[in-house]
Amino acid sequence: MAEAIISRLLTVGIYPAEAVIVSDPLGDRREFLHQQYGVTVTGNNQEVVEAASIVLAVKPQALRSAVNGLKVSADKLIISILAGVSLSQLEGVFSQQSIIRTMPNTPATVGAGMTAIAGNERVTDVQYALVSNIFQAVGKVVQVSESQLDAVTGLSGSGPAYVALMVEALADGGVAAGLPRAMAQELALQTVLGTAQLLDQQQLHPAICKDRVTSPGGTTIAGIRALEKGGFRSTIIEAVIAAANRSKELNQG
């Protein structure tokens, strides 16, 4: 995710390479990032704290060791992409700083992500705008309260897996109906991609899009009837709730 953010920030032109410094403990990784993106690299975390904004992009269990001994001034903005690490936990490490938690999802790697952000009481409107600008490089951004982040995890965090599962099922259905696997996969993928773009670009309610395709006594209503018999919509709802509940459990320790 960190590399995706770096790549998009530079590609979109939000920051030049010389404005970005990356700390990584692995020499091979540092060399790759420098050669690939032209950013400054270091193996010393203390060297990054002079930046106006510091992005934490380590495994949650590595947070303490990564920031151990760091001297960070109170005027720095801390941006965390650590899943399951609350603002209160981050404030235990950065007690005087503005902190914003972010919850991006995997489509961010291709610039089509959805990121939710939530900050502590020290965060200013200017800082929210700065973080929104950063994550708009990898997709869309929505500001939420921290209490809503578990629901965000259940929906957009886990959602790519649900969509991938649906694409796979659509392709399997095409194969079952007589299509070659490669063709069924292409049809399924483009159908999902195109429908998402249609809903987004025309700002359509999903029900309107569905009704436009569904003619009386036709093929689509027959398919929808089969989906409803299988509890398709309620199953998706329950999946989001289950993932959100699991996120709460993990965040509580």
What does the pLDDT look like over 156-197, one tens digit per residue? 999 999 999 999 999 999 999 999 999 999 999 999 999 999
Q: How far apart are CA 237 and CA 4, in angstroms?
A: 30
> In the predicted model, is pLDDT for residue 253 greater than 80?
no
Residue 201 one-letter amino acid: Q
Residue 236 one-letter amino acid: I
Q: Average pLDDT of the chain? A: 94
Confidence at 49, pLDDT banded by 50, 70, 90: confident
Q: Tell me the CB-side half-sphere exposure of residue 13, using CA atoms within 13 A.
A: 0
Q: Which bin fits 131, alpha (ψ -120 to 50), beta or left (φ > 0)? A: alpha
CATH of domain 2-145: 3.40.50.720
Q: What is the mean pLDDT of residues 29-54?
A: 92
Measure CA of the first residue to CA of the last residue in the chain; give whole Å.
24
Q: How far apart are CA 59 and CA 42, in angstroms?
A: 18
Choose between 159 and 61: higher pLDDT.
Answer: 159
Q: How far apart are CA 158 and CA 106, in angstroms?
A: 9
- Domain 159-251 is of which CATH architecture? Orthogonal Bundle (1.10)
Confidence at 27, pLDDT banded by 50, 70, 90: very high
> In the predicted model, is pLDDT for residue 51 greater than 90?
no
CATH 1.10.3730.10 domain range(s) in the chain: 159-251
CATH 3.40.50.720 domain range(s) in the chain: 2-145
- Output the pLDDT for position 246: 92
